[in-house]
A and B are shown apart, each in its own frame.
Chain A
Amino acid sequence: MSDAALPQWRRRTTRAELGRWFGWLALVALFVFCWEIMTQDTIWAFVTDAPTQGADIVGRMLPPRWSYLNALWGPLWDTLNIATLGTLAAIVLGVPVAFLAARNTTPSVTFIRPLALLLIVASRSINAIIWALLLVSILGPGVLAGIIAIALRSIGFVAKLLYEAIEEIDHSQVEAVLATGASPAQVMDYAIVPQILPAFAGISVFRWDINIRESTVLGLVGAGGIGLQLEASLNVLAWPQVSLILVVILATVVVSEWVSARVRHAVI
């Protein structure tokens, strides 16, 4: 009557267990390999010293220099403009791309659709701050470079989410409008656009929220906004100003998140 006589319940077969085991082994091996390469030039004395350094920086940051706040309203306005105008430009440019990329509205599935998809991937792969780096080097420092950088990064995002929404529309509504003898433009206006409008509003506000976050750091590479003040304060090691700027950025992000949540709630 021993337990060994009874069949034991197991989650997987021996084969599956072995397969999993080797899968994990391969992952661990990859990790160790990458870790070795990554840390070959690391100076461990600095790393072990990091807690002291961190405590030192925090000590210098506190308390934030509140009087510096008055110098930040202008840059904050610039940051807001970079995010908002950049999002608007991205919407204007991204919507046509979305219609070209959606399988049911594109003029040519074999030719134009892959081009539009490539445009979307290229725009999405490059972070806004890298676009900004590039544009500052081309157009010179300033808010304009920031706006274009935000727009270039957001086109792919807006177009990708929007074309997925267009592909998911209810086709029977399109047929109903077509049956009235509507022209292609009228089909677009009365059958397709009303169906994607809520998704469109949600996507735009969502991207605006992300862009507020991103535009706070664009100044680090010279593209305007509150990041410029951050860069300037870091360069002179004015840690109390840095901590104040971080607090302002945090507050901006929280407010924009709240606004975006409220608008999305109202629209959808």
Chain B
Amino acid sequence: MSEAAAYPSTWRRPPAIERPLLRWGLVAGAVLYLVLAVGSLEVNWLRVYEGLERGWRFVAGFLHPNFTDRWEDIAIGMQESLTMTVTSTAVGILLSIPVGIGAARNLAPAPVYYVCRAFIAVARSFQEIIVAILFVAMVGFGPFAGFLTLSFATIGFMGKLLAEDIEDIDEAQAEAIRATGASWLQLINYGIQPQVMPRLIGLSLYRLDINFRESAVVGIVGAGGIGATLNTALDRYEYDSAAAILILIIVIVMIAEYSSSYLRKFLQ
């Protein structure tokens, strides 16, 4: 009887953080932050209340999207967005290859490595929309500024991932190519390129998808694309046209996602 009583009949999960002081300290810190953060919110509830009616109109717009009234503007915006996406992805990937090779520790000499890594870090840190503002200031309004922005962002994204891929390759294959007396270019072409190509293609398709989404954003600051049309529609409180544009963006992103996963399976 006493043996049965000694056997533990309940079990408690061990806490995620062992030290109680640290655990409760973190909880208290989080609560304090939340109180401060929520306390510093300045919300004009009257304005929000008035906005609810507009919110309903937007939801209604989603149920009855209006493609026809602004169709010409939407078509031009879409055309700019799509062409911008294709050209900037192509140019960005082409330029990211030398940058990526330069940023791979096992291929590039130290000075080139640091320059390329610094370039990638800068290109990745700034949001597309900030870069777009600067390019619009430089080359004027229109899709060309958007093209430059997206190319710049693509170089940072692809360059980083490509460099990491090159650093992860199987050295034995590169060594074998080197042993045949291959030049540096032949080493890249026969020793490195076949190993990174499948992932490079996958990433390129993924970036195409991202670039299309971003092309909808850069238009807000005047760099062309569907974002400009959307901005105008919202400025005029034309929620049904805005809903039509958003639905088009969602549908195109869905198509791009499904076809790129299909293409990736086909290519690999």
A binding-site residues for B, Cβ under 8 Å: 27, 30-31, 34-35, 37-39, 41-43, 46-47, 50, 53-54, 57, 77-78, 80-81, 84-85, 121-122, 124-127, 129-130, 133-134, 137-140, 142-144, 213-214, 216-217, 220-221, 230, 234, 246, 249-250, 253-254
Contact = CB atoms under 8 A, between A and B. Distances in A.
B161 interface: no
For the complex of A and B, the 9 pairs showing the least CB-CB separation, nearest first, are A125-B253, A34-B83, A38-B83, A46-B140, A140-B47, A34-B86, A50-B138, A139-B51, A81-B37
A77 B58 CA distance: 31
B250 A126 contact: yes
A140 B140 CA distance: 30
B50 to A, nearest CB: 8
A134 B58 contact: yes
Contacts of A78: 40
B116 interface: no
The residue among A57, A134, A234 with the most chain B CB atoms within 10 A of its own CB is A134
A interface, over-half SS: helix
Contacts of A140: 44, 47-48, 50-51
B142 A134 contact: no
B73 to A, nearest CB: 15
B234 A133 contact: yes
Contacts of B40: 77-78, 81
A127 B138 contact: no
B242 interface: yes
22 contacts: A34-B87, A37-B79, A38-B80, A38-B84, A38-B143, A38-B147, A41-B143, A47-B139, A47-B144, A81-B40, A85-B38, A125-B249, A126-B213, A126-B246, A130-B220, A142-B42, A220-B221, A230-B130, A249-B125, A249-B130, A250-B126, A254-B125
A217 B127 contact: yes
